């Protein structure tokens, strides 16, 4: 079984590398359009859309798609458009608990399996100075919710659930999905 990661995310590559070294990367051309979906539905829909698009080009492979979404209540926070949008999102999350959903979709031999992991994350109360330094670093601009738990800034007070889910790929769930497919060495 040849495994393809349908993502160009360096974080997902690194996390999948903790499970197996036997994979290649093929970024998906899937267009993300949320349109009124819940955070759970968005993560699932986008993960499966990415996997299906790559699988359509590589039908003899096993394809793993993933997507991470941050939600504060019913408000879904994707990737920020720019620095000001990142500041807005960080201010919204400051001092509050939110959810991070990562959808994963595995397609092999025309069969799909998917899972959506959920982690609750509580932020410290963030100062304007910290928000400004973080945004100026450029790190939040390519991440859902405008932050990366692994970025080295003191944003997160505590989490309930999977750390790797918040980074962008729930490793334990993906390992189980691959084992169930009987493919890659896990």
Q: Which residues are catalytic?
A: 67
Nearest to 42 by CA among 80, 3, 70: 70
- Cβ–Cβ < 8 Å for 42, 67: yes
List of E strands, 8-110: 23-25, 62-72, 75-77, 97-108
Write out the H or E segment, with its range, that includes residue 64: strand 62-72
Helix axes 10-17, 171-181, angle to 10 degrees: 60
C-alpha 39/C-alpha 105 separation (Å) is 16
Name beta bridge partners: 129.
none
Q: What is the number of helices (H) and of strands (E) in the chain?
A: 6, 7
Nearest to 98 by CA among 161, 41, 168: 161
Angle among Cα 78, 48, 178 to the nearest 5 degrees reads: 115
DSSP category for residue 131: H
């Amino acid at each position: 079984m040849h495994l393809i990661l349908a993502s160009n995310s360096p974080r997902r590559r690194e996390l999948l590398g903790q499970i197996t070294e036997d994979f290649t990367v093929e970024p998906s051309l899937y267009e993300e359009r949320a349109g009124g979906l819940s955070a759970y539905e968005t993560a699932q829909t986008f993960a499966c859309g990415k996997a299906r698009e790559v699988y359509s080009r590589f039908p003899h492979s096993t394809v793993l798609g993933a997507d991470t979404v941050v939600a504060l209540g019913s408000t879904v926070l994707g990737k920020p458009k720019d620095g000001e949008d990142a500041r807005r999102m960080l201010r919204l999350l400051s001092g509050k608990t939110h959810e991070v959903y990562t959808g994963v979709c595995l397609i092999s031999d025309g069969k799909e399996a998917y899972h959506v992991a959920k982690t609750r994350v509580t932020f410290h109360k963030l100062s304007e100075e910290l928000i400004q330094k973080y945004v100026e670093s450029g790190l939040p601009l390519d991440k859902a919710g405008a932050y990366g738990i692994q970025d080295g800034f003191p944003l997160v007070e505590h989490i309930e659930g999977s750390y790797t889910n918040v980074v962008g790929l729930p490793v334990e769930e993906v390992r189980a999905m691959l084992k169930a497919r009987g493919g890659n060495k896990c």
